[in-house]
Chains A and B, each alone.
Chain A
Amino acid sequence: METIWFCLWILLWAVYFALDGFDLGMGTLMPFLARNATERRIIVNAQGPYWDGNEVWLLTAGGATFAAFPAAYGTMFSALYAPLLLLLFCLIFRGCAFEFRGKASCPGWAAAWDACLFAGSFLPALLLGVAFANLFMGIPVDGDGIYHGNLLMLLNPYGLAGGVLFVLMFCYHGAVMLDIKTEGVLQSRARSAAYAVWPLLAGMLAVFLIATAQFTGTFGRVAAHPVLYAALTLAAIGLAGSRLALGRSALGSWTGSAVFIMGLTFFGAGGMYPNLIISSIDPAFSLTVHNAASSPLTLKIMLAVALCAVPCVLGYQAWVYRLFSGKVTEKSIEKGHSY
């Protein structure tokens, strides 16, 4: 049961990365791709109906951590106090940017919120990468769950490599989504960005995997659970497939990118198994799926809730994606009912 919840826990994070990843990527790319106010509005509205629903996957991933592994939830979030609150502030500004940027017309108003949108997209991507890389490597927590470190310690070379990888991964994902959602010159710029980011992403992935072998015990643990190599293989196929589909089928390319993100999440987070928090002070202080889990009754109830609710959520979210499918154009945002 604990292992099922470990897999579900990763799944929630993976879905969050695959969905909100393209929002964060678009927000990061916006200053580089949009050359005028209309193009900026098009990029904002390409995420308009989706970003809020996507962000709830983060809340659910957080809530599932709390419900299934409460001890790990407390230790993880208090140890990562500064980066986590920074992440939340960024997401607050991002959310407000969507809602507020078109609600007033004083000079500099939209530009200020667009700056918030950029920072509120770029920094979360970076921070999520830094945080997860540090979790893969292990953080200095003692037996009482007290964190012996600071924010700068998280910005070690491996953590930063994780951050850069996430930023590139989401930028690529966002560029491919823009390829789907836009047309004309903006679309061709987005596609060029995807072509340009892909080799950087593939290179960074190689660097990250080598660093993972160097700095973390991931590969040792993966050897005990070879099924995780399947996740890595899937990620590689997704990444390669996405590049092959680029320019032929935008949707295929996006799917490949999503498979890549989810596969990599399963490989990285799964590579911690059975740990949820690896203590770099003493392995005995690590929190595992066994010593940090909720009671069997709670896990059973939550599993029932997840099995009933998550398919419904996926169903109506898919309906909304279909409902708002189609290109966002200058004409479509002029009609009102847009940000």
Chain B
Amino acid sequence: MDLILLSRLQFAMTVFFHFIFVPLTLGLSVLLAIMETMYVRTGSEDYKRMVKFWGKLFLINFALGVVTGITLEFQFGTNWSRYSAYVGDIFGPLLAIEATVAFFLESTFIAVWTFGWNRVGRVMHCASIWIVAAAGSISALWIILANGFMQNPAGFVLRNGRAELESFTDLIANPYAWGEYLHTLASSWMLGGFFVLGISAWHLARGREKEFFTRCVRIAAPFTLAAAILTGYAGHHQGQNVAILQPAKMAAMESHWNTQANAPMNILVWPDQENSRNRIEALPVPGLMSFIAFNDSAAEVKGLSDFAKEDIPPVLPVFLSFRFMAGMGCLFIFIAGWAFLRRRDLSSSPLLMKLLPLLIPLPYLTIMAGWTVAEVGRQPWIVYGLMRTADAASPVPVSSVVISIAAFLAVYSLLGAIDIWLLCKNARKGPEPAAGAQED
């Protein structure tokens, strides 16, 4: 098999697996911080139980997020050494800064938070979870600045046969990266919100701990709604960034072949990349694509036929992922709004109460789809317009990569299954009974 394809497969597999755990860490940490702040302000033991219950789930999830993250940093060396040598001058520092300013903070204060209930005061304990939440967001910022460079390279100059850093400020002011960051962060908050809503609804549907879980819903519902709206807004904004900075990706997202002004959006589309056209194209809404991309229904949208064939990403997966993501994004705003309206008494709407637990996996799938749009849509480039993916892999034997993929598959399936099992088990168990809660 092809070395490039295998290396991509391995990276995609490991990064997707890692990203099962990351958004919940980002989202739930903020919710935990809010809950613990309520505990500190009111002194109510109910909030402490809340922090302990969700905190246990948080830690189970956190563990796999940490250990699967390490392999990603090292894979740039093991599997993408040509890439590392060519853009390492710019890309390496971003990863190194992520470790020094974020990972240390996160790993140290998660220990204070986990083990420190009896060792630090309430305020310091609460501050630690805020620090963990902040550190997670800071780490996301640096890794997305790194990804932003791959999407829209900025602040570099070609010198000495490689890309060298020219302006650090241009590198970290990359508009693509900031749009992507906001979208990623907001969607992670939303995922965390739906996680809390779903598990709370599951218990409420069984009539367990009504007061406790209603209180959780009342905290999570407004948070989820705000995050869902922000996700949509940031996504739209980022779409407009893509339209300007990565027109080929934009055209693939819409499966748009012929450059035209006042471009319509077709409700029904099925791409046919081989013949550079759509097999199905029906129900056009006039000017909508132009309007969404440029806020101007008369604007010209570049079509895929205007790009050289070797510069076009795989259209079908990008197109489908984008449609799925955008559709789900709208659905989430609707459901979050519904939950917000019913937050005081979820049991008044049995349908919503049954729906929310089933919805837990959907934000995960949607975030995966979003990353598929961003990363597959970037192809055939590893750094957009600068370096092709085909030139980036390590010169390692194909057999090594086959073995490591098999090992990743085995280990990750096992650990993923164990993790989900532990999450379900502990989520179903519910909070410790109030009287028996571990008081110290």
Residue of A nearest to B404 (CB): A85
Question: Any chain A CB within 8 A of the CB of B413?
Answer: no
A56-B107, A77-B81, A81-B396 are contacts. A49–B115 as well, Cβ < 8 Å? yes
* Chain A positions within 8 Å of B59 at CB level: 99
- Residue from B68, B73, B93 with most neighbouring chain A CB atoms (10 Å): B93
Question: Any chain A CB within 8 A of the CB of B434?
Answer: no
Contact among A73, A88, A335 for B440, CB-based, below 8 A: A335
- Say how far A329's CB is from chain B's closest CB, in angstroms: 14
- Say how far B82's CB is from chain A's closest CB, in angstroms: 7
Question: Any chain B CB within 8 A of the CB of A278?
Answer: no
Contact among B77, B88, B104 for A53, CB-based, below 8 A: B104
Indicate with 1 or 0, residue by residue over A311-339, a CB within 8 angstroms of chain B CB atoms. 00100110010011000000000011110
* Chain B positions within 8 Å of A96 at CB level: 63-64, 67, 415, 418
A56 to B111 CA separation, bound complex (whole angstroms): 13
Pair B100/A305 contact, Cβ less than 8 Å:
yes
Question: Any chain A CB within 8 A of the CB of B89?
Answer: yes
Pair A52/B110 contact, Cβ less than 8 Å:
yes
Question: Any chain A CB within 8 A of the CB of B5?
Answer: no
Indicate with 1 or 0, residue by residue over A136-158, a CB within 8 angstroms of chain B CB atoms. 00000000111100000000000
A262 to B14 CA separation, bound complex (whole angstroms): 33
Q: For chain A, residues 88 to 107, give those with C-beta under 8 angstroms from any C-beta of chain B.
A: 88-89, 91-93, 95-96, 98-100, 103-104
* Chain A positions within 8 Å of B341 at CB level: none
A338 to B394 CA separation, bound complex (whole angstroms): 42
A74 to B91 CA separation, bound complex (whole angstroms): 13
A108 to B98 CA separation, bound complex (whole angstroms): 38
Pair A104/B422 contact, Cβ less than 8 Å:
yes
Question: Any chain B CB within 8 A of the CB of A132?
Answer: no
A78-B81, A88-B70 are contacts. A67–B418 as well, Cβ < 8 Å? no
A64 to B422 CA separation, bound complex (whole angstroms): 35
A73-B84, A104-B425, A313-B104 are contacts. A323–B96 as well, Cβ < 8 Å? no
Pair A77/B71 contact, Cβ less than 8 Å:
no
* Chain A positions within 8 Å of B74 at CB level: 62, 77, 84-85, 88
Contact among A70, A77, A313 for B78, CB-based, below 8 A: A77
Pair A323/B119 contact, Cβ less than 8 Å:
yes
Residue of A nearest to B116 (CB): A323
Q: For chain B, residues 356 to 403, give those with C-beta under 8 angstroms from any C-beta of chain A.
A: 394-396, 400, 403
A78-B77, A95-B63, A95-B66 are contacts. A67–B111 as well, Cβ < 8 Å? no
Q: For chain A, residues 41 to 96, give those with C-beta under 8 angstroms from any C-beta of chain B.
A: 48-50, 52-53, 55-56, 58-60, 62-68, 70-71, 73-78, 81-82, 84-85, 88-89, 91-93, 95-96
Residue of A nearest to B88 (CB): A70
Pair A147/B396 contact, Cβ less than 8 Å:
yes
A104 to B424 CA separation, bound complex (whole angstroms): 12
- Say how far A236's CB is from chain B's closest CB, in angstroms: 31
DSSP class of A's interface residues: helix, strand, loop or mixed? helix
Question: Any chain B CB within 8 A of the CB of A37?
Answer: no
A244 to B324 CA separation, bound complex (whole angstroms): 67
Question: Any chain B CB within 8 A of the CB of A188?
Answer: no
Residue of B nearest to A95 (CB): B67
* Chain B positions within 8 Å of A310 at CB level: 100
Question: Any chain B CB within 8 A of the CB of A233?
Answer: no
Contact among B120, B395, B407 for A85, CB-based, below 8 A: B407
Q: For chain B, residues 160 to 203, give those with C-beta under 8 angstroms from any C-beta of chain A.
A: 160, 164-166, 168
- Residue from A59, A64, A316, A335 with most neighbouring chain B CB atoms (10 Å): A59
Pair B98/A50 contact, Cβ less than 8 Å:
no
A170 to B274 CA separation, bound complex (whole angstroms): 59
Question: Any chain B CB within 8 A of the CB of A3?
Answer: no
A316 to B76 CA separation, bound complex (whole angstroms): 30
Pair A336/B438 contact, Cβ less than 8 Å:
yes
* Chain B positions within 8 Å of A100 at CB level: 60, 63, 418, 422
Contact among A104, A144, A147, A317 for B104, CB-based, below 8 A: A317
A81 to B400 CA separation, bound complex (whole angstroms): 8
Question: Any chain B CB within 8 A of the CB of A298?
Answer: yes
Pair B85/A99 contact, Cβ less than 8 Å:
no
* Chain A positions within 8 Å of B104 at CB level: 53, 56, 60, 309, 313, 316-317
Pair B108/A316 contact, Cβ less than 8 Å:
yes
A293 to B440 CA separation, bound complex (whole angstroms): 54
Question: Any chain A CB within 8 A of the CB of B92?
Answer: yes
* Chain A positions within 8 Å of B110 at CB level: 52
A60-B100, A323-B112 are contacts. A92–B415 as well, Cβ < 8 Å? yes
Pair A70/B85 contact, Cβ less than 8 Å:
yes
Residue of B nearest to A314 (CB): B104
A70 to B83 CA separation, bound complex (whole angstroms): 9
A48 to B110 CA separation, bound complex (whole angstroms): 11
Residue of B nearest to A58 (CB): B70
* Chain B positions within 8 Å of A104 at CB level: 422, 425
Contact among A53, A103, A301 for B111, CB-based, below 8 A: A53
Question: Any chain B CB within 8 A of the CB of A306?
Answer: yes
A67-B92, A146-B395, A336-B438 are contacts. A89–B407 as well, Cβ < 8 Å? yes
Question: Any chain A CB within 8 A of the CB of B90?
Answer: yes
Residue of B nearest to A146 (CB): B395
A96-B67, A320-B112 are contacts. A74–B88 as well, Cβ < 8 Å? yes
A103 to B68 CA separation, bound complex (whole angstroms): 19
- The 29 sampled A-B contact pairs (Cβ below 8 Å) are A48-B114, A49-B114, A52-B111, A53-B108, A55-B107, A65-B77, A66-B92, A70-B84, A77-B74, A81-B396, A81-B404, A85-B78, A88-B74, A91-B70, A92-B67, A92-B68, A92-B70, A96-B415, A96-B418, A104-B425, A297-B164, A297-B165, A297-B168, A298-B90, A310-B100, A323-B112, A324-B116, A335-B118, A336-B117
A sample of 20 more A-B contacts (CB under 8 A), given A70-B85, A71-B88, A335-B438, is: A49-B111, A52-B107, A53-B104, A53-B107, A62-B73, A74-B76, A74-B394, A77-B77, A81-B78, A89-B407, A89-B411, A91-B70, A103-B60, A144-B395, A146-B395, A297-B164, A298-B92, A316-B104, A320-B112, A323-B112
Listed in ascending order, the chain B residues whose CB lies under 8 Å from chain A are 59-60, 62-64, 66-68, 70-71, 73-74, 76-85, 87-93, 95-101, 103-105, 107-112, 114-120, 159-160, 164-166, 168, 394-396, 400, 403-404, 407, 411, 415, 418, 422, 425-426, 438, 440
Give 7 nearest A-B pairs by CB, closest first: A70-B88, A77-B77, A74-B81, A99-B63, A63-B96, A66-B92, A67-B92
Listed in ascending order, the chain A residues whose CB lies under 8 Å from chain B are 48-50, 52-53, 55-56, 58-60, 62-68, 70-71, 73-78, 81-82, 84-85, 88-89, 91-93, 95-96, 98-100, 103-104, 144-147, 294-295, 297-298, 301-302, 305-306, 309-310, 313, 316-317, 320, 323-324, 335-338
